[in-house]
Structure 1
Amino acid sequence: MRGLTPGPQLPPRLPEVQALSRFLAAKPEEWPGLAPRVTDEIGADALRRIVHATIARTGEFVTVTDSPDGLIVSGAKGQVRAWAQAAPDGEITALRIEGARYRPPRHRRRLPAPVTWATYLILVTLWNVLTVWTASDRIAWLGNMATLAAIYVIVEGCGAPAQQPRPLRRTVEAGAVAALASVWRLPGLPAGHGALRLAVGIALLAGAVWLVAAARLHRWRAPVSRPLLFPLEGTWYVVQGGGRVLNHHAHVPEQRGALDLVGLGRHGTRVRPGRDLTAYAAYGRPVRSPCDGRVISAADTVQDQKPGEIRYQPPYGNHVFIDTGREIVKLAHLRPGSVTVAKGDMVGAGQLLGEVGNTGNTTEPHLHIHAERDGVGLDLEFTGLSGRLHRGRKIRA
């Protein structure tokens, strides 16, 4: 790990590349001079273990390069992703190295996920509407309507429709109206004998209702010790929250009760035309402390992600973690330069903490909030908000 320096191909616009290259090429006794804050915070022994684990995955260090996925540390045996911040003098002020080998994504031309999802949904809806209009008897019509209703229950209950563009939402709604309009055909249709089709449709509808209801009503039976103050103002939409079907945090023990909240604008949409951060209704909105307590961690210097992309960063990005004495409340993905508190500060409920941003593991501006006790996530409760908090719920605060 010595004698290697960044080659001339490294982009000068990224001082982090040069700084991380110097650090990884240096001897361990040189690390305190190259990254004093990191060494003090993590500890020399822990830092040595992290670097040795990285070498075990990559082989002897060769180079650091930049990529759309983040900084890539390459060695003889493989690559890992990293994130670093560097001062103007080249000192590393923050460092994170992923604990798994990096595999570059295949560069295949494909439609964006929203376009693929929209095309699939429209085709499925269109097909079901046509089957309703072409049903040969009443029982077949009822069976097809039950199947179509099951699709709408899943879409509306699990698909977070407020996240979708308004034209897509209106198309899906128009499909429902078109299907219902076919009821005028019933008087002229024979009764029919397609009991199996009807039974299948009813079973699908019952299953969809049960799936959505169970996920929306789900609780972990571990509530916060007292209701929190809702940290945002205005109209917000829960895009992650509830049971496993509705909340991708559920598989992470400490985040299982987490909520992801996006802001809604005047017309009920989360984003105006345009793809920059300011087009999102949530971006820059104030975030206030949901509780009294002591700040045990705060970060303010992680840069915003570009919407729709994720570079490797600390997962929470800019954040504030508050210890209430009974549980730890975490608020994440804040805007760089907006955090108003530091580690060790005492805060009161309602105090300004920062603004909603797009830092960390996120594809669009939103606020992540969860509470945990002994590493286990808790069910969130907020003063003045009744009912379950789940994907698809609008909150007006």
Structure 2
Amino acid sequence: MSRPPANQPPARGPVVLALPFAGRWLAGNSPARRVPSHGTDLLGERYAIDFTGVDDRGRTAAHRDWVTYVGTEPPERFFAYGRAILAPAAGVVVEAFDGEVDHPARRSQLALVPYALGQAARLRAGVGAIAGNHIVIELVGGAGFLALVHLRAGSIRVRQGDTVNPGQPLAECGNSGNSTQPHLHLQVMDSPDLSIARGLPLAFRRYREWPAGAKHPVLRDVGIPSEGATVEPLPS
């Protein structure tokens, strides 16, 4: 009988969540495209997904200028920054870390190159340098542990031991940790400790999806947003 790789848990159905926000967001590094979605099994990221807030035109920021092409930009310039992050499921907070600053954003290739060269140093610095400000929730029924990552400094509204319900405001989207543009990184894991956690499959319920390049949306009862798709939660 074949067995899963030593660093992965046995196969299981996905943990189904609500989208943790209102409005429109762009899906990136989706496990619908590849697994591991972020190119690594480290830090429980095997099935992780990223969401970047956009406007109705699909833009992540209202404008570009010369700074966009040669340097860094303030995170406040981006639509995602400061948007409310909501609990996507019921559970208990097992970690609420808020001790990292929000970094300048980088859309410029000139600014991204030196940032990429610093990746190894951030890994050596530990979970806080990668995840930034983050919340870990133990999901009800032993479904796993949910991590919401790259939150805005000073915005976390819950503490360890708090019970949370779906749709409850938890924090705001930020640009802390290993993040080049304000966005939300979300993953489900088999442990609350990101340094040893293994990623678990996830899916989302009731949302409208505009696949990349599509003019008309598709309604999803349960699914995983495709790479480059814009999504918007449907009323429950």
Pairing 1:180-195 to 2, within 5 Å after superposition: none
Tell me the distance in 1 between the aligned counterparts of 2:174 and 2:168.
Answer: 18
Over 3 Å counting, the alpha-carbon distance change for 1:246 and 1:264 in structure 2 is: farther
Question: What is the aligned counterpart of 1:239 among 12, 25, 28?
Answer: 28
Distance 1:315 1:329 in 2: 16
CA distance in 1, matches of 2:229, 2:201: 16
Q: 1:383 offset after TM fit, Å?
A: 2.0
The TM-score, its normalising length taken from structure 2, stands at 0.68
Aligned amino acid, residue 362 of structure 1: S
Q: 1:364 to 1:342 in 2, by over 3 A?
A: same
2:166 pairs with 1:349: yes
How many angstroms does 1:250 deviate by?
4.3
Q: Aligned partner of 2:44: which letter?
A: E
Counterpart mapping for 1:264-283 below 5 A:
264-273=54-63, 275-283=73-81
Pairing 1:378–2:200 present: yes
* Offset, 1:354: 0.3
Per-residue displacement from partner, 1:7-39 (whole Å, max 9, x unpaired)?
A: xxxxxxxxxxxxxxxxxxxxxxxxxxxxxxxxx
Q: CA shift at 1:247, angstroms?
A: 2.9
Does 1:288 pair with 2:110?
Answer: no
Stretches of structure 2 that go unaligned for 5 or more consecutive residues are 1-9, 65-72, 123-127, 192-196, 208-219
The 3-state SS of whatever aligns with 2:202 is: coil
Match of 1:51 in 2: none
The answer for the alignment partner of 2:177 in structure 1 is 360
Contact 2:38 2:48 in 1 (8 A): no
Q: 1:232 to 1:249 in 2, by over 3 A?
A: farther
Q: 2:24 touches 2:56 (CA, 8 Å); kept in 1?
A: no
Q: How far apart, in 2, do the equivalents of 1:251 and 1:391 lie?
A: 19
What secondary structure is seen at the aligned counterpart in 2 of 1:384?
strand
Change (3 A) 1:314 1:223: farther
* TM-aligned CA deviation for residue 381 of structure 1: 1.4
**Relative contact order, CA 8 A, sep 6+: which one is greater?**
2
Which structure features the higher share of helix residues? 1
CA deviation profile, 1:249-277 (whole Å, cap 9, x unmatched): 44437211100110111321112225321
- The two structures have a TM-score, normalised by structure 1, of 0.42
Letter in 2 for 1:234: G
What is the match of residue 136 of structure 2? 321
After superposition, where does 1:1-397 map in structure 2 within 5 Å?
222-225=12-15, 227-242=16-31, 243-244=33-34, 247-252=37-42, 254-273=44-63, 275-308=73-106, 310=115, 312=122, 314-324=129-139, 325-373=142-190, 375-385=197-207, 386=220, 387-397=223-233
Structure 1, residues 360-390: CA drift from partner, whole Å, max 9, x if none? 0111100000001253312211221434323
1:85 maps to none
SS in 2 for 1:314: helix
Which entry has the higher C-alpha Rg, 1 or 2?
1
Instruction: Flag the 1:392–1:350 CA change in 2: closer, same or farther, 3 A.
Output: same
Q: Residues 204 and 224 of structure 2 are in contact (CA less than 8 Å); yes or no, is this contact kept in structure 1?
A: no
How far, CA to CA, are the matches of 2:185 and 2:45 in structure 1? 10
Superposition deviation, residue 221 in structure 1: 5.2
Question: What residue in structure 2 maps to residue 186 of structure 1?
Answer: none
Whole-angstrom distance in 2 between the partners of 1:336 and 1:262? 17
Rounded to whole Å, the distance in 2 between the matches of 1:292 and 1:268 is 30
How many percent identity over aligned positions?
Answer: 32
The code of the aligned residue for 1:390 comes to: S
Q: How many Å separate the matches in 2 of 1:235 and 1:367? A: 13
How many residues align? The count is 177
Give distance in 2, aligned partners of 1:280 and 1:222: 37
Alignment check: 8 A CA contact 2:53 2:79 kept: yes
Matches of 1:345 and 1:258 in 2, distance apart?
24
TM superposition shift of 1:323: 0.4
Offset of residue 396 of structure 1? 1.4
